Chains A and B, each alone.
Chain A
């Protein structure tokens, strides 16, 4: 099973993503509502892949990833951003930050699991 940490402030989107990923039967998903909560979570949980919302109250997805990259255990873990504001330059910046992929919202729940696996292989 692939251990996936999903950070997303919107509860409905969390639920849909959880359902979509569980459908594939290949993911063990842990979800957090904020970047701060995610940073607490990774103290005791090391995921194989991180799925991060960009726009969140408090720490943004980018800030959260920057903090995670400071941790030895998470330095090389593939991170995938989900964003509703997929500006071309922002996507480029996120890739430079080490994002394995950037998924635009609304995303297709049916292909989400495949997208994550593809990004993990590429990363």
Chain B
């Protein structure tokens, strides 16, 4: 907001401007009602900057000619028609407003007169208002922009000149403010800035008339890509352009949008030899078809980067697996006594190596899974599955945990068949992970309970151990990758640090939720739910993009 106080007036102009200002409003009203002849000598002028040169010289208290009086009357009429004027007294209460003021703001005079002028301002402006008021007391004029609150609560922006008023004795009696509404000017500037920004945008912007399908706007980037100039695009319909240029997906999407009540659609498409994220917004005008605002965001580089990253991870994983095959295979053969008996110490060391090679394989598998999930490429083989049977199968498949950790896996509430359409292998993967964690953190002789709870909407499967539990201060980290939990001792327990992240991503990809309840020293229950509606997924589904897994 630009503003300034004018210099203090000279002694000579003090009387003049006081007298003029004090009588201005009554005088101008009288002039407008055709009583110019009698009132001119006391007519004051509070002026917009542009009117000052005309009014002040003519308002000297000298004998005026009739022509001069008429001229002054006409100028004041023009001013009154143009400016929004209000007068306030020394207490800051409104005492006068002109017709332009009431017309613009929507207030009636009764609503304004006698009210504090601060009712027209925002709280933000009140500090400046106090400053202006202090300046007026000193005899300073203030010019600048201020917001003004209208009767309907809307704020408008006004360019104002505010001057102090004095009586004939030179005593300060208040102030008079003349305003010009500059809201539209600001809007136009904003519109111009918006238009310039759109034009300069790196994304392509198209606007299409939904009724005629004719292009009404293209920014520079769009014109460059389609090879159309200003005039050329306005002669085209979207159908014609789709025949000439590689933009059929846009045409199809606009047609679909026009046939539905949807306001917006967003999709990725390959056009013009590149990958784009396309956003089409239907801008309706009342009940008329309106316009399509089409935005094309070039994501070719992002896609290429993701592909390169994905291929790199896949390749690295493959390259790691080959030597691991030899390492694990050799150790496996040695441990099987294929090369004869080993001394006990050598065998113990070999078992450590073999166990850690297994762990490395699991880490590679988890990294690959997370990478696939992040890119929406994790495949799900959905089939009607008896979850009860699946729990028993998983329990049997993990019987080695019972031997290794001295625990007992008990399956509860899974006698009757519980049918659900899901990916059984992925569920086994999740359960194996949860069982493995439970076993690692249990004491020998502990029981681990694998339990199913079936309800109308969802299935809940839980794995409960009586182990160490997870400290409250670390529970927020549980599903983070490589979370460094103080009692996890990952390396000695053979964890990958990724298993629970993978479980979370799989369960959420299947439309479920995963969580846990834990009390340090008493044990932990990990659980996940699967919605019964997952059955609507097809036989082979790709997981939705899970950015949190990336």
| B335, closest chain A residue (CB) | A110
8 A Cβ contacts from A82-123 to B: 84-85, 87-89, 105-110
Residues A85 and B318 in contact, CB atoms below 8 Å apart: yes
Q: Does A32 contact B (CB under 8 A)?
A: no
Q: A85-B318, A88-B381, A89-B379 are in contact. Are A106 and B333 (CB under 8 A)?
A: no
Residue pair A106, B325 in contact (C-beta under 8 Å): yes
Assess whether B322 is in contact with A84, with CB atoms less than 8 Å apart: yes
CA distance A55 to B314 in the complex (A): 13
Count residues on chain B whose CB falls below 8 Å from chain A CBs.
Answer: 21
Give which listed residue, A17, A23, A84, contacts B318 with CB less than 8 A. A84
Whole-angstrom CA separation of A19 from B331 in the bound complex: 12
Supposing A55-B318, A89-B379 touch, asked if A84 and B325 sit within 8 A by C-beta, the answer is yes
Q: Check B321 against A19 for contact (C-beta < 8 Å).
A: no
Q: Which A1-46 residues sit within 8 Å CB-CB of chain B?
A: 10, 12-13, 16-17, 19-20, 23
B232 to chain A, nearest CB (A): 45
Residues of chain A within 8 A of B330, CB atoms compared: 12, 16
Residues of A within 8 A of B361 (CB): 106
Across-interface contacts of A105 in B (CB, < 8 A): 321-322, 324-325
Contact of B322 with A13 in the complex, beta carbons under 8 Å: yes
Are B332 and A110 neighbours in the complex by a CB distance under 8 Å?
yes
Determine the distance from Cα of A106 to Cα of B365 in the docked complex, in whole angstroms: 11
How distant is the Cα of A52 from the Cα of B139 in the complex, in angstroms?
99
* CB pair B329 A20 closer than 8 Å: yes
- What CA separation (Å) do A17 and B317 show in the bound complex? 21
A84 near B336 with CB under 8 A, answer no
Contacts of B333 in A (CB 8 A): 16, 19-20, 23, 109-110
Rounded to whole Å, the gap between the CB of B454 and the closest CB of chain A is 28
Q: Answer whether residue B326 sits at the interface, using C-beta atoms and an 8 A cutoff.
A: yes
Output the least CB separation between B292 and chain A (Å): 37
Rounded to whole Å, the gap between the CB of A80 and the closest CB of chain B is: 15
The answer to the question of B297 belonging to the interface, with a C-beta cut-off of 8 Å to chain A, is: no
Provide the bound-state CA to CA distance between A85 and B317, in Å.
Answer: 8
**Across the interface, which residues of A come within 8 angstroms of B149, CB to CB?**
none
B326 neighbours in A (Cβ, 8 Å): 10, 12-13, 16
B185 within 8 A of A: no
Task: State A40–B342 Cα separation when bound (angstroms).
Answer: 41
- B328 part of interface (Cβ distance < 8 Å): yes
Instruction: Give complex CA distance A17, B330 in Å.
Output: 10
CB neighbours of A10 from chain B (8 A): 322, 325-326
- When chains A and B are docked, how far (Å) is the Cα of A102 from the Cα of B222? 50
Q: How far is the CB of B313 from chain A (nearest CB, A)?
A: 11
B288 an interface residue at 8 Å Cβ cutoff?
no
> Which of B314, B318, B325 makes the CB contact (< 8 A) with A107?
B325
Q: Separation in Å of the A103 CB from the closest CB of chain B?
A: 10
Is B338 close to A, CB under 8 A?
yes
Question: In whole angstroms, what is the CA distance A17 to B328 when docked?
Answer: 12
Once A13-B329, A55-B318, A85-B318 are accepted as A-B contacts, the answer to whether A106 and B324 lie under 8 Å apart by CB is yes
Name the one of B329, B338, B379, B381 contacting A106, with C-beta atoms under 8 angstroms.
B329
A84 partner residues in chain B, CB cutoff 8 A: 317-318, 321-322, 325
Q: How far is the CB of B223 from chain A (nearest CB, A)?
A: 42
Chain A residues near B321 (CB, 8 Å)?
Answer: 84-85, 105-106
Nearest first, the 4 closest Cβ-Cβ pairs linking A and B are: A84-B321, A16-B329, A12-B326, A106-B325
Residues of A participating in the B interface, judged by any CB pair closer than 8 Å: 10, 12-13, 16-17, 19-20, 23, 55, 84-85, 87-89, 105-110
